[in-house]
Structure 1
Amino acid sequence: MDFNITAEEQRLPLVIVGHLDAGNAPTVDGLSADLGHDVHSAALSLRRKGWILVRDVNGRDTVVALAPMALQAVRSLRYGRRET
Protein backbone atom coordinates (compact mmCIF):
# COMPACT_ATOMS: atom_id res chain seq x y z
CA MET A 1 0.00 0.00 0.00
CA ASP A 2 1.35 3.40 -1.02
CA PHE A 3 0.84 6.06 1.68
CA ASN A 4 2.08 8.90 -0.55
CA ILE A 5 -1.17 10.55 -1.58
CA THR A 6 -2.07 14.02 -2.81
CA ALA A 7 -4.29 16.49 -0.97
CA GLU A 8 -7.21 15.64 -3.27
CA GLU A 9 -6.65 11.93 -2.76
CA GLN A 10 -6.59 12.51 1.01
CA ARG A 11 -10.02 14.17 0.98
CA LEU A 12 -11.73 11.42 -1.02
CA PRO A 13 -11.42 8.57 1.56
CA LEU A 14 -13.01 10.81 4.20
CA VAL A 15 -16.09 11.20 2.00
CA ILE A 16 -16.09 7.49 1.12
CA VAL A 17 -16.02 6.49 4.80
CA GLY A 18 -19.04 8.70 5.45
CA HIS A 19 -20.97 6.83 2.75
CA LEU A 20 -19.81 3.40 3.89
CA ASP A 21 -20.62 4.19 7.54
CA ALA A 22 -24.15 5.10 6.41
CA GLY A 23 -24.45 1.74 4.64
CA ASN A 24 -24.03 3.11 1.12
CA ALA A 25 -21.50 2.04 -1.48
CA PRO A 26 -20.85 5.28 -3.40
CA THR A 27 -20.30 5.38 -7.13
CA VAL A 28 -17.39 7.40 -8.43
CA ASP A 29 -19.90 9.60 -10.27
CA GLY A 30 -21.76 10.15 -6.99
CA LEU A 31 -18.54 11.10 -5.23
CA SER A 32 -17.83 13.58 -8.02
CA ALA A 33 -21.27 15.10 -7.46
CA ASP A 34 -20.71 15.23 -3.68
CA LEU A 35 -17.39 17.03 -4.03
CA GLY A 36 -18.41 19.26 -6.91
CA HIS A 37 -15.67 18.16 -9.29
CA ASP A 38 -14.52 15.09 -11.19
CA VAL A 39 -12.78 12.59 -8.87
CA HIS A 40 -12.31 9.77 -11.38
CA SER A 41 -8.53 10.24 -11.60
CA ALA A 42 -8.16 10.47 -7.80
CA ALA A 43 -10.30 7.34 -7.35
CA LEU A 44 -8.23 5.46 -9.95
CA SER A 45 -5.02 6.55 -8.25
CA LEU A 46 -6.27 5.46 -4.80
CA ARG A 47 -7.32 2.13 -6.30
CA ARG A 48 -3.85 1.63 -7.78
CA LYS A 49 -2.22 2.58 -4.49
CA GLY A 50 -4.31 0.01 -2.62
CA TRP A 51 -6.52 2.40 -0.65
CA ILE A 52 -9.94 1.54 -2.11
CA LEU A 53 -11.70 -1.42 -3.66
CA VAL A 54 -13.76 -0.49 -6.71
CA ARG A 55 -16.16 -2.88 -8.42
CA ASP A 56 -18.47 -2.60 -11.39
CA VAL A 57 -22.02 -2.58 -10.01
CA ASN A 58 -24.72 -2.33 -12.65
CA GLY A 59 -22.25 -0.79 -15.09
CA ARG A 60 -21.03 1.88 -12.68
CA ASP A 61 -17.69 2.07 -10.85
CA THR A 62 -18.62 1.70 -7.18
CA VAL A 63 -16.40 1.94 -4.11
CA VAL A 64 -17.26 -1.10 -2.02
CA ALA A 65 -14.53 -0.89 0.64
CA LEU A 66 -11.43 0.81 1.95
CA ALA A 67 -8.33 -1.23 2.67
CA PRO A 68 -8.01 -1.95 6.42
CA MET A 69 -4.89 0.21 6.73
CA ALA A 70 -6.59 3.01 4.79
CA LEU A 71 -9.61 2.80 7.06
CA GLN A 72 -7.38 3.07 10.12
CA ALA A 73 -5.58 6.08 8.62
CA VAL A 74 -8.90 7.79 7.86
CA ARG A 75 -10.31 7.06 11.30
CA SER A 76 -7.16 8.51 12.89
CA LEU A 77 -7.54 11.67 10.81
CA ARG A 78 -11.25 11.91 11.46
CA TYR A 79 -11.19 11.38 15.20
CA GLY A 80 -7.89 13.11 15.77
CA ARG A 81 -9.31 16.43 14.58
CA ARG A 82 -10.46 19.03 17.03
CA GLU A 83 -13.62 20.92 16.25
CA THR A 84 -13.31 24.67 16.81
Structure 2
Amino acid sequence: MPNVPERPRRRITLTRDGPMLVEGPVEVVCDDGSVAVSDRFVVALCTCRRSHDYPWCDTSHRRRARPTPEPGPTPEREGDVP
Protein backbone atom coordinates (compact mmCIF):
# COMPACT_ATOMS: atom_id res chain seq x y z
CA MET A 1 0.00 0.00 0.00
CA PRO A 2 1.77 3.12 -1.18
CA ASN A 3 0.15 5.68 1.19
CA VAL A 4 0.61 3.70 4.41
CA PRO A 5 3.90 4.21 6.27
CA GLU A 6 5.79 0.97 6.78
CA ARG A 7 5.81 -0.26 10.37
CA PRO A 8 9.09 -1.47 11.80
CA ARG A 9 9.40 -5.25 11.90
CA ARG A 10 9.71 -7.04 15.21
CA ARG A 11 11.95 -10.06 15.52
CA ILE A 12 10.35 -12.98 17.40
CA THR A 13 12.48 -15.96 18.38
CA LEU A 14 10.75 -19.23 19.21
CA THR A 15 12.51 -21.60 21.59
CA ARG A 16 11.85 -25.32 21.79
CA ASP A 17 11.20 -25.69 25.52
CA GLY A 18 11.06 -22.12 26.69
CA PRO A 19 9.65 -18.67 26.16
CA MET A 20 9.04 -16.65 23.02
CA LEU A 21 11.66 -13.90 22.77
CA VAL A 22 10.37 -10.64 21.29
CA GLU A 23 12.40 -7.55 20.48
CA GLY A 24 10.90 -4.69 22.45
CA PRO A 25 9.54 -2.39 23.50
CA VAL A 26 6.25 -4.30 23.47
CA GLU A 27 2.64 -4.00 24.46
CA VAL A 28 0.94 -7.37 25.07
CA VAL A 29 -2.83 -7.68 25.09
CA CYS A 30 -3.81 -10.73 27.17
CA ASP A 31 -6.86 -12.92 26.60
CA ASP A 32 -8.68 -11.22 29.51
CA GLY A 33 -8.21 -7.81 27.86
CA SER A 34 -5.50 -6.59 30.24
CA VAL A 35 -2.46 -4.92 28.71
CA ALA A 36 1.13 -5.55 29.81
CA VAL A 37 3.85 -3.13 28.69
CA SER A 38 7.63 -3.54 28.68
CA ASP A 39 10.27 -1.08 27.48
CA ARG A 40 13.07 -3.66 27.55
CA PHE A 41 15.00 -4.32 24.34
CA VAL A 42 14.07 -8.03 24.45
CA VAL A 43 11.26 -9.62 26.45
CA ALA A 44 10.54 -13.28 27.16
CA LEU A 45 6.86 -14.15 26.78
CA CYS A 46 5.60 -17.23 28.60
CA THR A 47 4.19 -19.92 26.31
CA CYS A 48 3.53 -22.61 28.94
CA ARG A 49 1.32 -20.48 31.26
CA ARG A 50 3.22 -21.67 34.36
CA SER A 51 4.72 -18.25 35.01
CA HIS A 52 3.73 -16.44 38.20
CA ASP A 53 4.41 -13.19 36.31
CA TYR A 54 2.36 -14.04 33.18
CA PRO A 55 2.65 -12.95 30.34
CA TRP A 56 6.35 -12.53 31.17
CA CYS A 57 8.41 -15.70 31.52
CA ASP A 58 9.89 -16.37 34.97
CA THR A 59 11.48 -19.74 34.00
CA SER A 60 8.74 -21.76 35.70
CA HIS A 61 8.79 -24.02 32.64
CA ARG A 62 12.15 -25.48 33.64
CA ARG A 63 11.99 -28.97 35.05
CA ARG A 64 13.13 -29.17 38.61
CA ALA A 65 15.85 -31.78 39.06
CA ARG A 66 15.77 -33.84 42.22
CA PRO A 67 18.97 -33.60 44.20
CA THR A 68 21.10 -36.71 43.84
CA PRO A 69 21.72 -38.51 47.13
CA GLU A 70 25.23 -38.27 48.48
CA PRO A 71 27.14 -41.55 48.55
CA GLY A 72 27.70 -43.03 51.96
CA PRO A 73 26.16 -45.36 54.49
CA THR A 74 22.40 -45.66 54.37
CA PRO A 75 20.47 -45.35 57.60
CA GLU A 76 19.37 -48.66 59.07
CA ARG A 77 15.66 -49.32 58.98
CA GLU A 78 13.72 -51.22 61.59
CA GLY A 79 13.64 -54.89 60.68
CA ASP A 80 16.87 -54.88 58.59
CA VAL A 81 19.29 -57.65 59.41
CA PRO A 82 22.89 -56.46 59.97
**Greater relative contact order (CA < 8 Å, ≥ 6 in sequence):** 1
Same fold (TM over 0.5): no
Q: Aligning the two structures, in what range does the TM-score lie when normalised by the shorter sequence?
A: under 0.3
- TM-score if structure 2 supplies the norm length? 0.22
- TM-score if structure 1 supplies the norm length? 0.22
